[in-house]
Amino acid sequence: MSILVYAENREGLFKKATFELLSFAQAMAREMNAEVVALSVGKVAQSELGKLGKYGASKVLDVSEGDFTLFDNRLYAQTVTAAVAHVDARVVLFPGSIAGTALAPNVAARLKAGLVSGVVELPSAYEPMEVRKIVFTGKAFARVKINTPIKVLTLSQNSFGVTEPVENTPAIEAFTPAVDATTAKNKLAEVNKQTGKLLLTDAEVVVAGGRGLKSAENFTMIEELAELLGAAVACSRPVSDEGWRPHDEHVGQTGKIIAPVLYIACGISGAIQHVGGISSSKHIVAINNDKDAPIFEVADYGVVGDYKTVIPDLINAIKEVRSR
Ligand SMILES: Cc1cc2nc3c(=O)[nH]c(=O)nc-3n(C[C@H](O)[C@H](O)[C@H](O)COP(=O)(O)OP(=O)(O)OC[C@H]3O[C@@H](n4cnc5c(N)ncnc54)[C@H](O)[C@@H]3O)c2cc1C
């Protein structure tokens, strides 16, 4: 019996969400007396595959034969389903990423398995399994029971955290599932790569700007603060709709869901659709010149003021503290 973890990589390097998912799986495995198996799809170096062991995988299924360069949900779902049968998986875990949330329902339907997305903590019971998940774009939680023999879960990113890596060498097995690449239904038309240095969904600190900044040029201040804090830059949807920032930086219900340790919102009102993408952040700081802006209802710290004076003050204060 095993727990299968979909180990997502980006250009051959595993994402932080993969290590978090393995940490979560390992904690579940202790309760279930199960083995943690990671499934890697696409070309990934052996040394990178070995890292999966440090976070809890005792075995890695390496699917590198075949054309997996483009993400095709149908093809990937067939691969995961074949891996589930191969390792007798009772639980299949996906990250709460775009690929993870696209794959999970497809795999669940193929396995006739119960699916819960947006899980935020370890199950409170295992048979039947009971999990807690986010609902209403982060406004509330729900407890859900899964009665099917196989359970499919997606983990809300950064809700569990990554455990300390340990010395452990996993068994790496080349796995060639019987999938037919000609069944691929999707044809990739365009790839818009994130241009920032840090992957937004992996960043520990995020500095975001909203429509209150009023122009693309004013984002230089956001970039400067982000650079100083080693943070990724994000924005609200109207900002990317206006073309002030690229679409891959937009967070919220229709954008990326993030959960950094620190989220700094500048000139963002805090509409429910925006908050849905950031509500799992550990600390939220809001800078807004309207004291009644809804963002202050979710913020841990708020500064009522003009970002044009608050951000430079913040930058100077950080530099001053660091120079001591
Ligand atoms: C179906 C649907 C999905 C959506 N999905 C998303 C989504 O995923 N993400 C998202 O962000 N939005 C989304 N939206 C849009 C959302 O409803 C809001 O319109 C949007 O979040 C507002 O963006 P904003 O806060 O940047 O702008 P605004 O609401 O215009 O707020 C600007 C804020 O800046 C403040 N401000 C102005 N000047 C200054 C200054 N000098 N200094 C400091 N503060 C200042 C103002 O007080 C105000 O609070 C969605 C909407 C719909 C209908």
| Mean pLDDT over the full length of the chain | 93
Q: Work out the widest C-alpha separation in the chain, in whole angstroms.
A: 62
CA–centroid distance, residue 252 to ligand 1 (Å): 10
Least confident of 135-139, 159-163, 274-278, 311-315: 135-139
Protein residue whose Cα sits closest to atom 40 of ligand 1: 306
CA–centroid distance, residue 236 to ligand 1 (Å): 6
Q: Is beta strand 171-174 parallel, antiparallel or unpaired with respect to 59-63?
A: parallel
* Mutation probe of ligand 1 site: the residue of 218, 236, 247 with most atoms within 8 A of C-beta: 236
Distance from C-alpha of 297 to C-alpha of 8, rounded to nearest angstrom: 34
- What pLDDT, in 10s, does the model give residues 224-259? 999 999 999 999 999 999 999 999 999 998 998 888
Indicate the pLDDT class of residue 264, thresholds 50, 70 and 90.
very high
Among the listed residues 23, 13, 16, 11, the one whose alpha carbon sits nearest the alpha carbon of residue 260: 16
Token pair 């997606």 in the structure block, residue? 154
Locate the ligand 1 atom nearest the alpha carbon of residue 270 and give its number. Answer: 25
* Mutation probe of ligand 1 site: the residue of 219, 269, 304 with most atoms within 8 A of C-beta: 269
Domains and CATH numbers, the chain: 2-183 (3.40.50.620), 200-323 (3.40.50.1220)
- Pocket around ligand 1 at a 6 A CB cut-off: 210-212, 236-239, 250, 252-255, 267-269, 271, 273-274, 277, 287-290, 293, 306-308
Among the listed residues 236, 238, 239, 206, the one whose alpha carbon sits nearest the alpha carbon of residue 223: 206
| DSSP state at residue 111 | H
pLDDT of 305: 97
pLDDT of 148: 97
pLDDT of 198: 77
Per-residue pLDDT, averaged over 13-19, amounts to 93
Protein residue whose Cα sits closest to atom 4 of ligand 1: 273
pLDDT of 65: 82
CA–centroid distance, residue 237 to ligand 1 (Å): 7
CA–centroid distance, residue 243 to ligand 1 (Å): 15
- What pLDDT, in 10s, does the model give residues 72-106? 888 899 999 999 999 999 999 999 988 999 999 99
- The yes-or-no verdict on residue 126 having pLDDT over 80 is yes
Protein residue whose Cα sits closest to atom 39 of ligand 1: 212
- The yes-or-no verdict on residue 195 having pLDDT over 70 is no
CA–centroid distance, residue 79 to ligand 1 (Å): 40
CA–centroid distance, residue 239 to ligand 1 (Å): 8
Among the listed residues 51, 111, 113, the one whose alpha carbon sits nearest the alpha carbon of residue 82: 111
CA–centroid distance, residue 228 to ligand 1 (Å): 25
Contact 152, 111 (CB under 8 A): yes
Locate the ligand 1 atom nearest the alpha carbon of residue 268 and give its number. Answer: 25
Per-residue pLDDT, averaged over 189-196, amounts to 65
